[in-house]
Every structure is written in C-alpha cells, then in structure tokens.
Structure 1
Amino acid sequence: MALQLTQQDKCQSDTNIPSSVDRESVAFNNNSRKRKQHDNELDFLNERFDRQLTEWDKQIQDCMTSTANAIAQILIKFSKITQKKLNDIEKSLQFVSERQEVLDNRLLSVEAAVSRVGVLENKINGLEYKLSTMEQQARHCNIEISNMPERRGENLLSTVEMLGNLIKCPIRSMDVVEIHRVPHADQKNSRPKNIIIKLTSRILRDNILSAYRACAKKGLDSSQLSIAGTPRTIYLNEHLTLSNKILFRQSREAAKKHEFKFVWVKHGVILVRKSETSPIFAIRCSDDISKIK
C-alpha cells in the first residue's frame, strides 16, 4: 500500500535537524561561493595583467627597435658629415701647410735680404761718415764770421783786414783765398748772412781763432769796426758742414740740460767737458750725444 503524502507533508522539513548545523551549512555555502568568485576575479586580473605586460613588452620592443634604427641612421649621417668635415679639415691643413712653407721660404728670403741691407746700411753709414769727414777737412782752412751787419756795396776784404788788426792778428789780402757771404738754410732767418773766409793755411786759421777768443773775452762788436747801426756781437768759428752744425747745436742743448760747462769745436771735431777737471770726449755722431749725461 502506498503512502500518500499530503501537501503539507511535501513542504515540511525535518524538524529534528539542529539549528546550529543549519547555520553552519549556510555559512559554508556562502563562503565557498565568495572564494570561487574571488578566485575568478584574480584569474581575470592575472590574465588581464599578463596581456597588458605582453602589450607593453611589444611596445617597448617596437620603441627600442625604432630608436635603434633612428640612432643607426643618425650615426650613419653623423659619420658621413664627420668624414666630410675631416676631409675638409685635411684639405685645409694641407693648404695651410703649403702656405706656411711658402711663407717660410719668403721669410728666409726677406731675412737674407735684411741681412744684406744691414751690411749695406753699415757700408753706407761708413761712406757717409767718410764723406762728411772729407767735407769737413775741405774746410780746414775756413773761418765763418756770423752776426756781422750787412751793408750795401760792402768791401768784405777790407772789413776782415780791420778785424785782424782789432784782434791783433793781421790778415793780409794775400792770405785770403776766397771770401763771400752765404745764405741761411732757413730763409726766414733775419740775421745777417754769415761770411766765409778761405785762408791759405790751417795754421793761420787757428792763429786767428786763438786771437779772436782772447779778444772776445773783453767783448767784440760791430761798432769797433766802424760799422754804423746798432752794435752787434761778432762771432768767429771754424767753418762746419751743415750736419756738424746741427750736431753742434744738439750737443750744446744737451750740455745745457745736463749742466756741462764746455762745448767747443777743434779741427772740425765737437768736444765736450763737464767741468775744468772732467775728462774731454768727442761727439762725432748723434748717438754720441747720449754720452752727455
């Protein structure tokens, strides 16, 4: 006989199951579902992260490849440019080297020419000195009278004879080879033109100059020669060349600056002495002026 269950029996449960077991079973089921859900999420995240890493790795590889290619292209271009620059520099250095060689050769030629010029200059200076010495020697019988007043129709020979009588050293007409006035180098010079007297001997010239120096200490002017007008002091000196006159003037200026007492000319040579007890030295060229100090 079959048992018939009522509708109520179908819905009824075992009332003998403890409530605590029921709760534990529910909690276990819930926890199981949560762990499964959590594991699924981790797997999903891991899978997604792996895909992302793979994608990043691919991007990095692509970037590294493109960067390497770009660097390779840059290096190739740089190598070509560098090689071109090096070639240009090599050509420039070769040109500079060739130019330097040309300049060195020219410099050697110039130095050789300069050395020859130096030798020639020394020879020229020597010749100029000899010529100046010869010009001065040609005047060794001459006397130069300066500051003598000029007169129209003057008789220079008669004036010179009077001058010889005044200084007590007679000058005869037969002793005079030539006498004349010479123009000044500076045309603006208003002083009387100098008188040049060429005598028959240097001994006579030296005697006249010695007599003049002795008389000049007392004073010698144009009024003593019966020359009308304002009296002028008359000077007698050896007849110097133009270069020696300039050198004489420079020597006097230097002597005045450095307080030298004596500067004079003897036989065409400029002599200098600082004091009565100092040594005498000669000034023969402009370089010798440095001795006056």
Structure 2
Amino acid sequence: MSNGFNDAQIDQLQKMFSKMESKIEARLDKVITDRLSECMDLKLKPVIKKVELLSKDTAELKSRLLQAELSARRNNTEIVGFPVEHASEPGIVLMNMAKKIGLTIQKTDLITVYKTGKPRRLGERDCQNIIAEWSNHSLASSFILKVNEYRKRHNNRLDARMFFNSETSASVAVYPHLPREMKQLRWIAKKKAEELGYNYCWITPPGKLLMRKSEGSPSFWIRCEEDLIKLK
C-alpha cells in the first residue's frame, strides 16, 4: 500500500502553501510598513516642528521689517494718479493742493517732492504718482486729514481738476507712502473685507492697516496675511 500523495492531493497542498505564503507576506509587509512609518514619524516630527518654527520666525521678521520700513516713511505722503502734464512740477502740485484744501505750509515744511514710477494710462490720460517727504509726521498727517475733509465736502471725490485747470477728469488719491508689500496687503485685505462683510478697511497716517465690521465695532490691526486668516 503506497504512502505517497496523488496528483490531486499534491495540487491541494501547493494551493494551501501558496495561501499561507501570501498571508505571511501580507503580514510581513504590514509589519515592515508600520515600522517604517514609525521610524519616519520619529525622524520627521522634529524636522516638521523646525520648519513650522522657521516659518513663524520668517513671518515675524517680515512683519518687523515692514513696520521698520513704514516707520522710515512715516513723514511721507503719496499722491496717486496725478496727470503727467501737471506732475512735471511736483512741488507746485503740493503747494496748489495745500492751498486748495486749506493747509498753510512753507517751503521749509517739505524736505523733498518727487515723481515716482513710470507714467501709466488711467482712463483718458497718462498719470504718475508723487511722493512728498515732510519735515515731520504731524505735517504729513495734517495733509492727509485735510485732503480727506476736502474730499468729503465734494461728494467723496478728489479730482485733478480741483487743483489745476484741466478739461479731462482725473481721479486722484492721497495715502501714506506705503511699501509695495503693504500695498499688496491692503489689496488682499479689501478682498477679505468684502468676503467677510467688513465695511471698513483703511490705513492710518502712520501706515497702520485697520479693518472693522461696522461703526463702533472693534478694529483689527492687520500686519500680515496671517492676521487676515484669523478674522471671522
């Protein structure tokens, strides 16, 4: 009597061993994967933490640099969108505007007045921005305050024709002299204000960007994009 296996039994044993092998490989793969994941977590966690800290430090440094630049420009004002033909004599532009808005100034009140950037097309004419550096922050703030009061008396409009004889309308605006990064932040903040229903988004003469939902509600100082993310 033979103790050997027939072909059917051998085939069945092979299938059984094959299934066992697959299960063992699957378990082994899981053990290896879990172990690798644990090792990666242990190695990556300190790295991720360091990256997060560096990102935070970088954001804080950028904010400090921006505030330092704003501080350096605190005596400056910027007239945006003035017609090129009148901007050719920026000093005269400032004196005419000051006289019109009711601000008495002397030549010594202005350290320097100059055009900045290339002319750009706005509406029907080429316009350029004008930077004025005042002898002190009080004068810079007074100029912006008087301009805003003058604009409110004229239906919230400020036009170059109010200061010079001109046939074509040219809307102008007066701001603190802001760094490029701050102008970009202001643009993003205005978009965020529309999204969240904030009715007020403005820049104070020292260069602080503030947002407020409604009259009487608290104001929020926006120093970087991270501050915008926190708003609700």
Shorter-normalised TM range: 0.7 to 0.9
Q: CA deviation at 1:159?
A: 1.5
Residues 96 and 163 in structure 2, CA contact (< 8 A), matched pair in contact too: yes
Q: Does 1:213 align with 2:148?
A: yes
Q: Does 1:167 align with 2:106?
A: no
State, as a whole percentage, how many aligned pairs show the same letter: 21
Greater RCO, CA 8 A, separation 6+? 2
CA distance in 2 between counterparts of 1:208 and 1:151 reads 23
Q: Please, what is the CA RMSD of the aligned residues?
A: 3.5
Which of these residues, 111, 121, 130, is aligned with residue 64 of structure 2? Answer: 130
Larger mean Cα displacement after TM superposition, 257-266 or 96-105:
96-105
Amino acid at match of 1:197: A
CA distance in 2 between counterparts of 1:274 and 1:121 reads 30
CA distance in 1 between counterparts of 2:8 and 2:15 reads 10
1:242: which partner in 2? 180
Map 1:134-145 onto structure 2 (within 5 A).
134-145=68-79
Amino acid at match of 2:149: A
More helix by share: 1
Q: Does 1:228 align with 2:166?
A: yes
CA distance in 2 between counterparts of 1:206 and 1:178 reads 16
Q: Does 1:119 align with 2:53?
A: yes
Q: CA deviation at 1:117?
A: 0.8
3-state SS of the aligned residue for 1:276? coil
Q: Does 1:264 align with 2:202?
A: yes
Map 1:77-156 onto structure 2 (within 5 A).
97=31, 101-151=35-85, 154-156=88-90
CA distance in 1 between counterparts of 2:199 and 2:33 reads 61
Deviations 1:74-105 (A, max 9, x none): 65676577668757875786676456544532
Q: TM-score, normalised by structure 2?
A: 0.77
3-state SS of the aligned residue for 1:193? strand
1:281: which partner in 2? 220
Amino acid at match of 2:64: K
Q: Does 1:182 align with 2:121?
A: no
CA distance in 1 between counterparts of 2:42 and 2:207 reads 44
CA distance in 2 between counterparts of 1:143 and 1:74 reads 96
Residues 251 and 289 in structure 1, CA contact (< 8 A), matched pair in contact too: yes
More strand by share: 2
2:131: which partner in 1? 196
Number of aligned residue pairs: 226
Amino acid at match of 2:152: K
Amino acid at match of 1:202: H
